[in-house]
Amino acid sequence: MMGQKYKVITKDTFQEWQRIINAITNIAGVTVGLITRVLGNQVKTIVVSQNTENPYLKLSRDSIIGSGIYCEQVITNKKRLIINNALTKQNWEKNIDLQCNLISYLGFPLRYSDNRIFGTICLLNNRETYYSDDLIYLLEKMRDLIESQIHEIENNWLDQLFVNKSLLRTIFDSIPVGIGLSAFPPNSAIFYVNPRFTNLFGYITNDIPTINDWFNIAYPDPHYRSLSYKLWFKMILQARQKKGIVEPQEFHVTCKNGDVRDVLISVRILDNILLSSFVDITKQKRTEAQLRLSEERHRLLAEYAKDNIWTMTPDFQFDYISPSIEYIRGYTPEEARLQTFEQILVAPDSLFKGYQRLKEISQCSPENAPKYGFRDELELLCKDGSSVWTEVIITPVFDERGNLKQIQGITRNITERKQKEEELKQLQQEYLKILDNAPIAIASYNSNKEDPDITFLNKRFHDIFGYTLTDMPTMSEWAQLAYPDVDYRTKVFSKWHDLVEKQRKTGKRESLQCKVVNKYGEQLEILFTATALENQVLVSMLDLTDFKEVESELEKARQTLAQTALAITEAIPVGTYTMVKKPDSPMAYFSFMSERFLELTGLERKEVEEDPLKGFACVHPDDYDAWVTLNAEVFAKKTPFFGETRVVVNGEVRWITAESVPRDLPDGSTVWEGVLTDITDRKNYEFELKKAHNQIIQINTELEERVKKRTFELEEREIKLEKTNQELIKANRLKDEFLAMMSHELRTPLNAILGMTEILQEKIYGEINIQQEQSLKTIENSGQHLLSLINDILDVTKIEAGKIDLNLKNISVYSLCESSLDLIQAQAQKKQIQLQNILPPNLPDIYADENCILQVLLNLLNNAVKFTPNYGKVTLEAIYPPVSDNQNSRHLRLLVTDTGIGIAKENINKLFQPFVQIDSNLNRQYGGTGLGLVLVKKFVELHGGKVSVSSRLGWGSCFMIDLPIARNQIKHKVLTSINNNTNTANTSNNRIETKITKKQPLILLAEDNEANVISMQNYLEAKGYRLFVAMDGQEAISALSGEKPDLIVMDIQMPKLDGIRAIEYLKQNPDYCNIPIIALTALVSENDREKCLKAGADEYMSKPVRLRDLANHIQRLLIPTS
How confident is the model over 803-835, as pLDDT tens digits? 677 788 899 999 899 988 988 888 899 899 999
Average pLDDT over residues 1044-1048: 93
| DSSP per position, 515-547 | EEE-TTS-EEEEEEEEEE-SSEEEEEEEE-GGG
What is the 8-class DSSP label of residue 845?
P
Dump pLDDT digits (tens) for 979-1025.
333 333 333 333 333 333 346 899 999 998 887 888 888 889 888 89
Instruction: Check if the beta carbon of residue 1025 is closer than 8 Å to that of residue 1031.
Output: no
Alpha carbon distance 321, 343 (integer Å): 16
Give the chain's length. Answer: 1122
What radius of gyration do the chain's Cα atoms show?
Answer: 54
pLDDT at position 986 is 35
> Can you tell me whether residue 610 is helix, strand or coil?
helix
For residue 1, what pLDDT is reported?
Answer: 31
The pLDDT-based confidence of 372 (bands split at 50, 70, 90) is: confident
Give the pLDDT score at 214: 93
Can you say whether the dihedral through the CA atoms of 819, 824, 828, 833 is positive or negative? negative
Concatenating the DSSP letter of every residue in 148-207 gives HHHHHHHTT--S-S--SHHHHHHHHHHSSSEEEEEPPTTT-BEEEE-HHHHHHH---TTT
Distance of alpha carbon 1091 from alpha carbon 988, whole angstroms: 23
3-class DSSP state of 656: strand
Tell which residue, 1083, 1099, 989, has the closest CA to residue 790.
1083
Per-residue confidence (pLDDT) for residue 1068, from 0 to 100: 92
Does residue 956 register a pLDDT over 80?
yes
Region 241-260 average pLDDT: 84
Nearest to 419 by CA among 429, 411, 427, 430: 427
Q: What pLDDT, on the 0 to 100 scale, is given for residue 1025?
A: 92
The phi and psi torsions of 378 (rounded to 5 degrees) equal -125, 150
- Which carries the bigger pLDDT value, residue 719 or residue 160? 719
pLDDT of residue 62: 45
Question: pLDDT digits over 1086-1121, tens only?
Answer: 577 888 999 999 999 988 888 888 999 999 998 754
**Nearest Cα to Cα of residue 74 among 128, 35, 114, 130:** 35
Helix (H, G, I), strand (E, B) or coil at 754: helix
CB distance 503 to 532 below 8 Å = yes
Q: Calculate the average pLDDT of the chain.
A: 81
- Residue 665's alpha-carbon distances to 613, 669, 672, 701, in angstroms, are 23, 5, 11, 56
- Examine the pLDDT at 570 and tell me if it is beyond 80: no
pLDDT in tens, 88-126: 765 555 566 666 778 889 999 998 777 878 889 999 988
Rounded-to-integer distance, Cα 820 and Cα 875, Å: 12
Residues 6+ apart with CB under 8 A from 32: 25, 48, 49, 50, 51, 52, 57, 59, 65, 102, 123, 124, 125
Average pLDDT over residues 445-457: 87
Give the bridge partners for 810, in sequence order.
Answer: 847
Classify 953 as helix, strand or coil.
Answer: coil
Strand arrangement, sheet containing 273-280? 190-193, 178-182, 273-280, 260-270, 249-254
| Model pLDDT for residues 395-434, shown as the tens digit of each residue | 898 887 888 888 888 888 888 888 888 887 887 777 777 7
Asked whether residue 69 carries a pLDDT value surpassing 80, the answer given is no
pLDDT beyond 70 at 158: no
Angstrom distance (rounded) from CA 875 to CA 852: 20
Q: What is the DSSP letter of 258?
A: S
What is the percentage of the chain residues whose pLDDT exceeds 70? 81
Backbone CA torsion sign across 67, 73, 79, 80: negative
Neighbouring C-beta atoms of residue 54, cutoff 10 Å: 13
Q: Which of 380-384, 762-766, 1069-1073 has the lowest mean pLDDT?
A: 762-766
Domain ranges of the chain: 2-170, 177-288, 305-420, 437-547, 574-678, 805-987, 1002-1118
Give pLDDT, residue 141. 87
Please report which confidence band the pLDDT of residue 1075 belongs to, taking 50, 70 and 90 as the band edges: very high
Is the pLDDT score of 215 beyond 70?
yes
Fold for domain 2-170? Beta-Lactamase (3.30.450)
Q: Peptide bond before 1104: cis, by omega within 30 degrees of 0?
A: yes
Name the residue type at position 766. Answer: G
Query: Same topology for domains 2-170 and 574-678, yes or no?
Result: yes
**With contact defined as beta carbons under 8 Å apart, do 122 and 131 qualify?**
no
For the range 153-156, what are the long-range contacts, defined as Cβ-Cβ under 8 Å and sequence gap of 24 or more?
Answer: 153/5, 153/6, 153/8, 153/9, 153/13, 154/2, 154/5, 154/112, 154/113, 155/5, 155/113, 156/5, 156/8
Q: At the top level of CATH, which class does the domain 177-288 belong to? A: alpha beta
* Contacts of 544 by beta carbon, 8 Å cutoff, 6+ apart: 513, 525, 526, 527, 551
What are the angstrom distances between the C-alpha of 35 and each of 146, 147, 851, 1068? 10, 12, 101, 94
pLDDT tens profile 312-329: 888 888 888 888 888 888
Are 953 and 902 in contact, with CB atoms under 8 Å apart?
A: yes
184, 236 contact by CB (below 8 A):
yes
Judge whether residue 885 has pLDDT over 70: no
pLDDT at 368 over 70: yes
**Structural contact between residues 1099 and 1115, judged by C-beta atoms closer than 8 angstroms:** no
Residue 921 and residue 915: Cα distance in Å, rounded?
A: 15
659, 670 Cβ separation under 8 angstroms: no
Half-sphere exposure of 844 (CA within 13 A, CB side): 20
Options 3.30.450.20, 2.40.50.140, 3.40.50.150, 3.90.1150.10; CATH for 437-547 is 3.30.450.20
Is residue 186 reached through a cis peptide bond, with omega within 30 degrees of 0 on the bond before it?
yes
Most confident segment among 8-12, 802-806, 854-858: 854-858
Phi, then psi, of 329 in degrees rounded to 5:
-120, -10
Residues 879-886 have a mean pLDDT of 74
| CA dist., res. 534 & res. 504, Å (int) | 9
Task: Identify the pLDDT of residue 569.
Answer: 44
User: In the sheet that 1077-1081 helps form, which strands lie side by side, from edge to edge?
Assistant: 1026-1030, 1002-1006, 1047-1051, 1077-1081, 1099-1102
User: What is the chain's percent helix, strand, coil content, to nearest 5?
Assistant: 45, 25, 30
CATH architecture of 1002-1118: 3-Layer(aba) Sandwich (3.40)
Return the CATH superfamily for domain 305-420. Answer: PAS domain (3.30.450.20)
Q: How far apart are CA 947 and CA 962, in angstroms?
A: 7
Instruction: Report d(CA 10, CA 36) in Å as an integer.
Output: 16
Question: What's the CA gap between 34 and 54, in Å, rounded?
Answer: 17
The counts of H helices and E strands in the chain are: 33, 37
Is CATH 2.40.240.10 correct for 805-987?
A: no
Pairwise CA distance, residues 364 & 510, whole Å: 53
Q: Which fold, 574-678?
A: Beta-Lactamase (3.30.450)
Query: Which pLDDT band holds residue 379 (cuts at 50, 70, 90)?
Result: confident
Model pLDDT, residue 610: 85
Chain centre to alpha carbon of residue 826: 68
